[in-house]
Amino acid sequence: METFTPITALIGGLLIGLASAAYLYLQGRYCGISGMVSDIVQRHPNFRFSIFFLLGLVFGGFLLNFVYPKALDVNFLLPWPGVILAGLLVGFGSKLGGGCTSGHGICGCGMLDKRSMTAVAVFLVVAMTTATILYHYFIGDPHP
Amino acid sequence: MIGKLLTFLTGVVFAIGLGVSEMTRPEKILAFLDLFGDWDPSLLIVMGAGVGVYLIFQKIIRAKLSPVCAVDYTLPKPGAIDKRLILGATFFGFGWGLLGLCPGPAVTIMSTLKPELFLFLASVGIGQYLASIKL
């Protein structure tokens, strides 16, 4: 099975970068998705725009059924308590650290912001350590 | 209204990008994060391409254009690397490494109606709330 998919990764990455840049032009803000979720939870003045972007994500995800159905071949490798724990950690961490893979990862790094680059380095190392220990030694290798 | 429509379309393009690169699939993310076995470096290409494009366009946009739907740019100010940033990134990385899912992909694949997604996103909201009352 082909695991490494450089061409589709490149096309996808370019689209993500372009969409994030378009968001900057439209909203004047980072295209950070944990931040948009938090806008809605906390009723940020901008929350209506955040809702429209997130609805776009959901609709784009629906279109993937026709554009690239493999994208929706989604499996979770942990039972529901693991899903809840992962969600709590992702929510708590992204709020405390001020961003996630989109905000710090794409926008912050694309602005060459040292805080974002540090956050990305930290969460990559922690995530790699966690996944390597959990999946290599306990659950078994994930095969995409 | 046109601003809201364009923002919606931006979300659609973002979702297609996540999907085409399969960043919507936790197994694909975990195949990158788990360094052993059949290691898959695709995520690095996605991040590299995304950051590269953004780096070029953000400079042009900020130099020549004003935001369509806002008075001015509101971007994070460069600041010190403090405990909150490191601790937050550590918690985030731990959660991301457990399941291979982060907020963008979770929202993007909602039309699959998998119950885990609603559980995950509700937990993200609760986690964010807990972090904000700790301020």
Per-residue exposure over A28-47, b if at least 16 CB sit within 10 Å of its own CB, e if not = bbbbbbbbbbbbebeeeebe
Q: What is the pLDDT of residue A110?
A: 98
CB B46 within 8 A of CB B40: no
Of B42, B94, B102, the CB nearest to A9: B42
Q: What is the mean pLDDT of residues B20-48?
A: 96
CA dist., res. B98 & res. A24, Å (int): 31
CA dist., res. A45 & res. A39, Å (int): 8
> What ipTM goes with this model?
0.97
Q: What is the pLDDT of residue B37?
A: 82
Q: A63-122 pLDDT, tens per residue?
A: 999 999 999 999 999 999 999 999 999 999 999 999 999 999 999 999 999 999 999 999
The fraction of chain A above a pLDDT of 70, given in percent, is 97
- Whether A39 and chain B come into contact, CB under 8 Å, resolves to no
Q: What is the pLDDT of residue B76?
A: 92
Tell me which of A144 and B96 has the higher pLDDT: B96
Q: Do B99 and A6 touch (CB under 8 A)?
A: no
Of A13, A34, A75, the CB nearest to B49: A13
pLDDT band at B78 (very low <50, low <70, confident <90, very high): confident
How many cross-chain Cβ pairs, A to B, lie less than 8 Å apart? Answer: 509
Instruction: For residue B63, list chain A residues with Cβ-Cβ distance below 8 A.
Output: none
CA dist., res. B102 & res. A117, Å (int): 18
How far off is chain B from A41, nearest CA to CA, in Å? 7
List chain B domain ranges. 2-133
Within a 10 A sphere around the Cβ of B110, how many other Cβ atoms? 17
pLDDT band at A6 (very low <50, low <70, confident <90, very high): very high
Q: What is the pLDDT of residue B32?
A: 97
Q: What global pTM score does this model have?
A: 0.97
Residue with tokens 């301020």: B135
Q: Which residues contact B124 (CB under 8 A, 6 or more apart)?
A: A34, A37, A87, A88, A90, A91, A94, B103, B106
pLDDT band at A140 (very low <50, low <70, confident <90, very high): confident
Token pair for A121: 């380095």
Q: What is the pLDDT of residue A144?
A: 61
DSSP one-letter code for A28: S
Q: Do A131 and B30 touch (CB under 8 A)?
A: yes
Instruction: Tell me how far CA of residue A17 lies from CA of A52, A80, A119, B4, in angstroms.
Output: 19, 32, 19, 20
For all residues of chain A together, what is the average pLDDT? Answer: 95
Of A3, A12, A46, the CB nearest to B17: A12
How far off is chain A from B1, nearest CA to CA, in Å? 10
How far off is chain A from B2, nearest CA to CA, in Å? 10
Size of chain A in residues:
144
Residue of B nearest to A135 (CA): B34
Q: What is the pLDDT of residue B134?
A: 54
The C-alpha angle with vertex A59 and arms to B21 and A61, in degrees rounded to 5, equals: 25
Q: What is the pLDDT of residue A42?
A: 86
pLDDT exceeds 60 at position A34: yes
Q: What is the mean pLDDT of residues A25-34?
A: 97
